[in-house]
Amino acid sequence: MKLLQNLFDGMKPNFEKGGKWEKFHTLYEGHRTIAFAPDLVTKSKGAQIKDATDLKRVMITVVIAMIPALLFGILNIGHQHFIATGGEGTFLDKAIFGALTVLPTLIVSYAVGLATEFTFCVIRNHPISEGYLVTGMLIALVMPPFIPLWQVALATVFAVVIGKEVFGGTGMNILNVAMTARAFLYFAYPAQISGDLVWTYLGDKAAVDGFSGATALAVAYNSSIDGTPVVEALTSHNAAIGADYSFMSMFMGWIPGSIGETSTLMALIGAVILVATGVASWKIIVGGFSGAYAMGLVMNALQVTNLWPCRHTTIW
């Protein structure tokens, strides 16, 4: 590793005060601290030792917790594609198809987001923070399988600038950056991020006869209008072409949806990683879900008939 250290040392004078790239010293520091934990020591007063965990390690833990959802998302996008187009696909075919669909989104999210972040760090002269490691991955996970890359880029720039940097950067933001990106797209380009047609990526093929891209929620809603029992409507949906919305497939995640959204199991694995490593608080997770569930029950109890979703009417 001496070689890499020498390489960094060789470049160092350029980034120091008076060097030709002085303005970009924050980028130099940022990259050096990724390769090497810095040789900083504690100050003379106060705690003389520090915990071995830094923010990079906390953030990478979150990234690792998202990897199951990402990998499953890649596979599922291939799976949904082959179901919808009626082709036969092996595991490998599905994985490759999914990867080719998802990776560009992921790469654009990271590249554009980091470029925006670096620009701000240089202009405002603050150190590069690790927060974007998490955000970049999250932005990809909340996107539909296929979305124009320019939209991803635009949403990422908007989210990083308006969601975070205008407030002073990581730790100062009042909005969740990834969710800001998704909200931006929902309002700016609703056609590509809502409706029944965007959750399965067909590629250049046509869908088979009898295929419907309706999401589980849409199927459940329609069943309440038709009067069919919900469970029956869900399990029979697309059953003719070999897919369904049974409890199991919804739990496993073999359903259309955003890249990292579909699999409850993978999300739970991520949650277990976060809780076991102490990065997330189980109280917040359980609190959030039980709050939503309780409110859902309240809404359900107040429902007269066919009032779902409640935006149609209010009863008070």
Partner 1 sequence: MTKIVKLKKGFDLKLVGKAPLEFLQVVAATTFAIKPSDFPGIQRPKVLVNEGDTVKAGSPILMDKAMDQVIYASPVSGEIVEIKRGDKRKLLEIKILADTTVTHEKFGALDLGQDRATLVEKLAASGVWPNVIQRPYGIVANPADNPKAIFVSGFDTHPLAPEVPFLLQGDERYFQAGIDALAKLTTGKVHLNVDGSKAVPAIFSGIKNAQINQFSGPHPAGNVGTQIHHLDPINKGDIAWTVAPYGVVQIGKFVLEGIYDASKVIVLAGSELTQKGYVKTYTGANVSTFLGDSRQAENLRIIAGNILTGEKVDAQGYLGFYHNQVTVIPEGKYEEFLGWLKPSATKLSFHKAIGMFSFLKSGEFKVDTNTHGEERPFVVTGVFEKVMPMDILPTYLFKAIVTEDFDEMEELGLYEVIEEDVALCEFVDPSKNELQELVRHGIELLMYN
Binding site for partner 1 (CB under 8 A): 1, 4-5, 29, 33-58, 60-61, 64, 127, 129-131, 168-172, 276-279, 281
Which of 151, 170 has the CB closer to partner 1? Answer: 170
Nearest 5°: phi and psi at 137?
Answer: -70, -40
DSSP of 126-157, one letter per residue? -PPPTHHHHHHHHHHHTS-SS--HHHHHHHHH
Which of 116, 258 has the CB closer to partner 1? Answer: 116
Residue with tokens 């990478």: 60
Are 161 and 116 in contact, with CB atoms under 8 Å apart?
yes
SS3 state at 201 = coil
Compute the least distance from the CB of residue 114 to partner 1, in Å: 16
Compute the least distance from the CB of residue 117 to partner 1, in Å: 13
**191 vs 147: CA distance, rounded Å:** 10
Which of 115, 279 has the CB closer to partner 1? Answer: 279
**59 vs 56: CA distance, rounded Å:** 5
Which of 41, 191 has the CB closer to partner 1? Answer: 41
Compute the least distance from the CB of residue 241 to partner 1, in Å: 41
Give the residue among 180, 194, 115, 85 at the shortest CA–CA distance from 147. Answer: 194
Are 8 and 32 in contact, with CB atoms under 8 Å apart?
yes
Compute the least distance from the CB of residue 134 to partner 1, in Å: 10
Taking CB atoms within 8 Å and a gap of at least 24, the contacts of 244-251 are 245/216, 245/219, 250/216
Which of 48, 314 has the CB closer to partner 1? Answer: 48
Which of 50, 205 has the CB closer to partner 1? Answer: 50
Compute the least distance from the CB of residue 5 to partner 1, in Å: 7
Compute the least distance from the CB of residue 32 to partner 1, in Å: 8
Compute the least distance from the CB of residue 62 to partner 1, in Å: 9
Q: How far apart are the first and last CA of the chain?
A: 69
Nearest 5°: phi and psi at 246?
Answer: -70, 165
Which of 216, 266 has the CB closer to partner 1? Answer: 266
Query: What is the residue type of 172?
Result: M
